[in-house]
Amino acid sequence: MSLEPIGRVADLRNVERATSGEPLMERAGLAAANVARDLLAGSSPRVLVLAGPGNNGGDAFVVARWLAAWFYDVTVAFRGDASRLPRDAAAAHDALRAAGGTTVPEWPDEDPWGLIVDGLFGIGLRRPIEGEEARWIERANACGARILALDIPSGLDADTGVAYAPTVRAHRTATFLALKPGLLTADGPDYCGAISVHALAVELGDHAPGRRLDWPALAAKLPDALRRRRRNVHKGSFGTLGVVGGADGMVGAAILAGRAAAALGAGKVWVGLAAVERPAVDWVQPELMLRDAQSVVDAQPDALVVGPGLGTTSRARTLLDKALRASVPLALDADALNLVAGDVELARLVAARKAPTVLTPHPAEAARLLATSTETVQHDRLAAALEAAARFRADVVVKGAGSVLAFADGAWAINATGNAALASAGTGDVLTGMLGALLAQGLAPGDALQTAVCLHGAAADALVSEGVGPLGLAASEIAPVARRLVNAAARSPRATG
């Protein structure tokens, strides 16, 4: 089982130009028509196909032709000018007419429909849809019929996941060649429904450089460090993690990270608290060793996590400065990121580090790191993650719906696990603790980040499927389920290929 490829629009346009033989539009239309036929099982055979003025409309004409050939009652609404269609779309329009099909220029007053096929606008859209097509989208969303989107729901930006109002809210999206970032991040997951990928017998080569992270695929290739087949081991075999944070009023953040690290297998966890009045023991997780923050940094454990509840005082800056100079893998979160964003020297130290560095910002923290606005980050989450990775020579995850991972070598991925239950206080601290545990056990930083992010979301998904949340799911509930999932994966045979 492998991770599915993701390509941006420019990448996939290059694939289209290099592909010869039967037009891709014919292959795409047939693939989508089969999806439509599955969706129509047991419902009204009446189909409304919405065709736009470009190649997405051409895909729609092919779908309509096939469905009509299979004796479905198909109506095609098309407001464009057939004489101005792109070459392949014009050929698809002519083939539809040659097969006896016709088009109408207005939305037919013939509700209800068994299925609506959205072929209005495809992956090239970069602006809000206006005029009659916008009214069609609003009517499709409101009519109650199931909607199949071709390649991408009309109104959704394929590269960024920004949904321009109005955007089709699909029940199913049949996407072609490869996944697109916009299907998986930002608004995309709320508009795409179930996604099926149709490669159309095309070899992508290096034209789809991203990867979709899902837990079954990652679990099947779990690193040896997490499988623990050897018996002749001791706690030192699995590393010591230092967690540095927990200033006054925020001790819980560091303890959440420490507990998550213990659940993910770190041999020892030192929780270095910056608080003046710090607890001597965590009675829920007494295995954690609670220490003064400075002593943890000075001890140089196998890996460090800095930031959960750290604060931004001068003492916090001193702790971070020393941690950045340590020659161990380092994960920075929360206030550590805010300190770096506001201090040129700290930012220089991050970029100059020789040991691995991982940054875990949410969008507002990413905006501070990049000296831009949260809105700008959210407008193109992938671009923001790649810029941060390049600027700080680090592996980065920009958290949120469809967390975006960018690596120091220029590779990137989008996580497909997780749900709205993670939108609560403390879940980021848990993620950072999980990440730190994996770094302490010797995983390469990219593997550690991918595994932690994907497993974190998978644990939340498992909890919701068991009836715990999404409303009210607490951050402290995530790590025990993550432990269960990773141990189940470790017991399974390793995938090959």
At 104, phi and psi to the nearest 5? -125, 150
CATH code, 119: 3.40.50.10260
What is the structure's pLDDT at 205? 87
Q: Where in the sequence is the domain holding 33, given as residue range(s)? A: 4-208
222 and 117 within one domain: no
Total tally of structural domains belonging to the chain: 2
313 and 232 within one domain: yes
Catalogue the E-assigned strands of 254-403. 268-273, 289-292, 303-306, 330-332, 357-359, 395-398
pLDDT along the chain (497 residues), means of 10: 91 88 90 98 95 97 98 96 96 98 94 95 96 97 97 98 98 98 98 98 91 97 87 93 98 98 98 95 97 96 98 98 98 98 98 98 98 98 98 98 96 98 97 98 97 98 97 98 97 72
What is the structure's pLDDT at 290? 98
**Pair of tokens at residue 432:** 């950072």
What is the structure's pLDDT at 20? 67
Residue 496 lies in a domain: no
Cross-strand partners of 210: 6, 412
Half-sphere exposure (Cβ direction) of 237: Cα atoms closer than 13 Å: 11
370 and 323 within one domain: yes
235 and 120 within one domain: no
**Distance, CA of 243 to CA of 293 (rounded, Å):** 8
413 and 284 within one domain: yes
- Crossing angle of helices 427-440 and 445-465, rounded to 10°: 140
Residue 391 lies in a domain: yes
**Pair of tokens at residue 410:** 């220029």
**Distance, CA of 356 to CA of 408 (rounded, Å):** 10
353 and 398 within one domain: yes
Q: Tokens 């990121």 identify what position?
A: 337
Read out DSSP for 162-218? Answer: -BPSS----SEEEEESSB-HHHHSTTHHHHS-EEEEE-TT---TTS--EEEE-HHHH
Look up the pTM and report it.
0.96
400 and 288 within one domain: yes
301 and 234 within one domain: yes
Cis amide bond preceding 470, omega within 30: yes
CATH code, 376: 3.40.1190.20
361 and 265 within one domain: yes
Nearest to 312 by CA among 292, 278, 332, 338: 338
What is the structure's pLDDT at 196? 98
Nearest to 424 by CA among 471, 382, 456: 471
